[in-house]
Structure 1
Amino acid sequence: MKKLKDYEIGIAKLSNKKHLYEFAMDDSFFDLFGKEIIQGGNLQAKVELDKTESLLTLTFDIIGAVTLTCDRSLEEFEQPIDLQEVLRMKFGPENKELDDDLWQITPETQHINVAQHLYDFIALSLPMKKLHPRFQEELDEEDDQDILIYSSRKASPEDGDEDGGDDDEDIDPRWDALKNLN
């Protein structure tokens, strides 16, 4: 069984250049995070770490497939994953998240664990509605048939629309005062 420690990168003794790491993620990886979203999977992640004096840039390249449960039929199915993400870590006085793709870590940090980042990138790449591929084809056909086009245009007096005419008797006199403000 995999442990979170298997996804640590020691950064304390790294030289200032690019370093490449590879991680395998299988069912035991997803067991570490529970099975509410992803039931399992088989993925490979290549992480390129570019270290400079003040910044770590991690480029994640994740490819494989995860096992999901269909929201409609509760059947399990394979969802392909192929994504690239970038995460930056700058050195500062405390460990905290500054933005979605920018973290601050202390200069004394010895190791960074990328397991949570890998899981988050995978989970965020999943569709909101998890449908078995056979239902996805039906949904695509329905969407093609239900396309509605809405347009808007000003009504003109020729259209026979009361609101488009210049009938001054229907206009509240307070609005006439506003017309003179130009």
Structure 2
Amino acid sequence: MELKEFKIAFAGLKQGKHEFSFELDNEFFESFGYDEFNSAAVIANVELDKRSTLMDLHLVGSGSINVNCDVTNEPFDMPVDATMDIVVKFGERFNDDNEDILILPHGEYELNVAQYLYEMVVLFIPLKKTHPGLEDGSLESDVLDKLEELKLSSPDESEEGIDIDPRWDALKKLKTDNN
């Protein structure tokens, strides 16, 4: 999918700053094959600063995405406040190997920012998504109840004294002998 609505025709723009706004929803992320979000409502603003030999792009995404907690699998809205800066230069051929610099071929007249908006939001999401109610204790969940039950039913390490595998002692001795 080409996502034509995310193309910015910069050739006809005067030098200076220009602003563009885009809505990023679930359909947008699914067009990249990304289906980790239950729903998405992100407004992306792109500020293009056109100069004589290059352009600066400042991308800002704000809104929320609905994801499942990695601990409880409970859905929750995660706020999004992501930014990305890209310098656009012109050269012999297209090159996006550097994450901060994009080289477009001479004579190019438009830029599709969809890929960069996608990366900005997806890279903002933490590896572990935790429901805010889990941290403040306000989340009621069957999964949490079961985890607490399992935690309580496991033997308390401090009371019973744990038999440590003697091989660990041998490894600890090696560690202290080298110092």
TM-score, normalized by length of structure 2? Answer: 0.70
Residue 67 of structure 1 and its aligned partner are, at CA, apart by: 1.6
Larger gyration radius, structure 1 or structure 2: 1
- Structure 2 Cα separation of the partners of residues 116 and 38 of structure 1: 17
Q: Which amino acid aligns with 2:43?
A: Q
- Structure 1 Cα separation of the partners of residues 37 and 88 of structure 2: 27
**Number of residues paired by the alignment?**
137
- Structure 2 Cα separation of the partners of residues 124 and 104 of structure 1: 22
1:22-49 residue CA offsets vs partner (Å, 9 max, x unmatched): 1111222122123343332101111110
Equivalent residue for 2:58? 59
Q: Which amino acid aligns with 1:95?
A: F
Equivalent residue for 2:129? 130
Q: Is the 8 A contact 2:63 2:80 kept in 1?
A: yes
The residue correspondences of 1:78-157 to structure 2 (distance < 5 A) are 78-137=77-136
1:88-146 residue CA offsets vs partner (Å, 9 max, x unmatched): 110111101242211111122122111110110111111111122222446xxxxxxxx
- SS of aligned partner of 1:117: helix
Residue 60 of structure 1 and its aligned partner are, at CA, apart by: 1.1
User: Structure 1 vs Structure 2: percent identity of aligned residues?
Assistant: 32
Change (3 A) 1:32 1:55: same
Q: Which amino acid aligns with 1:58?
A: L
Unaligned runs of 5+ in 2: 138-179
Q: Which amino acid aligns with 2:62?
A: I
- Structure 2 Cα separation of the partners of residues 89 and 124 of structure 1: 20
